[in-house]
A and B are shown apart, each in its own frame.
Chain A
Amino acid sequence: MTFAERMLKIDRRIIFLVIGLCTLLPLLYPVGLPIKISPEVRSVYDYMEALPERSVFLLSIDFDPASKPELHPQAIALLRHAFRKNLRVVSMTLWVSGTGMADQLLTQVAKEMGKENGKDYVFLGWSPGGTAVIINMGQDLYTAFPSDYGGRPTKGIPVLEGVHSLKDVNYAISLGAGNPGVEAWYVFGKDKYRFELGGGCTGVIAPGLYPLLRSGQINGLIGGLRGAAEYESLIGQKARAVAGMDAQSATHVAIIVLVIICNVFYFNLRRVPRQQGHGTS
């Protein structure tokens, strides 16, 4: 077997090792390259920034622990921004397996920003039905969520004063890892109840949401860890996403180098029989 053939059939574990090192080393020794802000992330930031104090901001945490690395930093950055702007944060989830994580995340950021549960934010928890929950919230929030995650009746919570349904929400963002996610919030939420909607999602499904972004159905899109890093840069609180971008940079470059190497060997292998053919004639 020639060297090229051996390299083309290289053990996958060597590739895994390369990727592992490219992910680990930058996390241990960060470089901190500047991050360029994309228009779609800036749109979300600008809209949030323009909201008056005590506006109602709905954050739907529609992901499970599997998507935590990409969407958790987005949620933290958005919540930090919302709390800094003194918005009334109403949070919930459509994914049952993400409920505990969503509650932990909200509690953690609220504590950090000195916000009080019930007065500045509320976590409604999870309700079965997926898209049916969105429709119900659009009609009457208190029917969809009669109590919050802590069991407290939602009617009478100060942060929900004047909020009867989704029509009273000033801005909603869905951080989605699949279905139900951003698309469901548009189809069953914004299209019917006319609130402004932004989206956050994993890197894989982000390209699929560009049609919604381009047509104005969502006013902005935070895609993957990169989007989270951009948002962290915008709010001036660089955290895990920015740290993760070094690792992502190294990994992307590693994959590109590997792909280029494999193509070099591939073309080399294709050329060899031709050269051998020329040699014998």
Chain B
Amino acid sequence: MITGLLFAGQYYVPHPASEQLLTSVTKWLQIIGGFALVLGVTSLFHQHAVKIRRKEAGWGYSLVLYAGMLGTIAVGFWANGKESVDGAMTAFGWVYSFMMVPLQGTMFAILAFFIASAAYRSFRARSREAAVLLIAAIIVMMGRVPLGEYLIPLSGDVSQWILNVLNASVRRAILIGVSLGAIALSFKIIFGVERSYLGGGKE
């Protein structure tokens, strides 16, 4: 509680001593952040080691995970964490560029197809509200692409208005609500009223 109140108060104190305190703590946060990475990896190793040892369903995938992780760590150390040296790609760089980048990109790219199938399935004017949503969606989809602005020139301006006025005001309202929730939660954590984040239960 003391630390929480101290750093809440720090925000209102411009003195260099207060800034120094903040700097020290954020350095510690960075150090702990680094350790958290190690913890995450260790936890993952442990989970899958148990799965392999017990030969649970899907343990083969755990072996693949192990091979992937250990292989990437090994090439990473060998290349000293560098993706390229003097313009030449290292093995680590190869793993990053030809495995991680395409795989992550693929997962994100699937969204485009899923949006289309979700839109086809659910953008139906079942009610007045759904019809309004549908019309707004069509206007913004048209207004955000050159072809749409070419076919319906007004769609660009209308979609800008929807984004800057309607959307901004509603998002602001949601932001205010969520921010109040975050402030309330912060106060409760500082004063020890909320302990569920520690895994603690009811009193």
Contact = CB atoms under 8 A, between A and B. Distances in A.
A139 B22 contact: yes
A38 B159 CA distance: 11
B30 to A, nearest CB: 4
Interface stretch (A54-62, A82-90, A250-258): A250-258
Range, interface on chain B: 35 or more
Interface size class of A (residues with CB under 8 A): 35 or more
B193 interface: no
A252 B168 contact: no
Contacts of A154: none
Interface string A228-263: 000000000000000001101111111110110011
B147 interface: yes
B129 to A, nearest CB: 15
A128 B123 contact: no
A64 B23 contact: no
Interface in A4-32: 10, 12, 15-16, 18-20, 23
A16 B117 contact: yes
A103 B84 CA distance: 9
Contacts of A100: 83, 93, 96-97
B23 A139 contact: yes
Main secondary structure of the interface of A (DSSP, over half): helix
A143 interface: yes
B120 A15 contact: yes
A43 interface: no
Interface in A174-190: none
Nearest to A227: B144
B34 interface: yes
Contact of A12 (B22, B31, B117, B164): B117
A147 interface: no
Interface string B88-114: 000001001100111011011100110
B19 A258 contact: no
Contacts of B146: 33-36, 245-246, 249
A23 B112 contact: yes
Interface stretch (B42-50, B134-142, B194-202): B134-142
Interface in B24-81: 26-27, 29-31, 33-34, 36-37
A114 interface: no
Contacts of A16: 113, 116-117
Contact of B101 (A33, A68, A252): A68
B147 to A, nearest CB: 3
A256 B119 CA distance: 9
A254 to B, nearest CB: 7
A197 interface: no
27 contacts: A10-B120, A12-B117, A15-B113, A19-B113, A23-B112, A34-B146, A65-B104, A66-B107, A104-B83, A129-B29, A129-B33, A133-B30, A136-B30, A144-B30, A210-B163, A211-B171, A214-B164, A249-B146, A250-B147, A252-B141, A252-B145, A255-B141, A258-B120, A259-B120, A259-B138, A263-B124, A263-B134
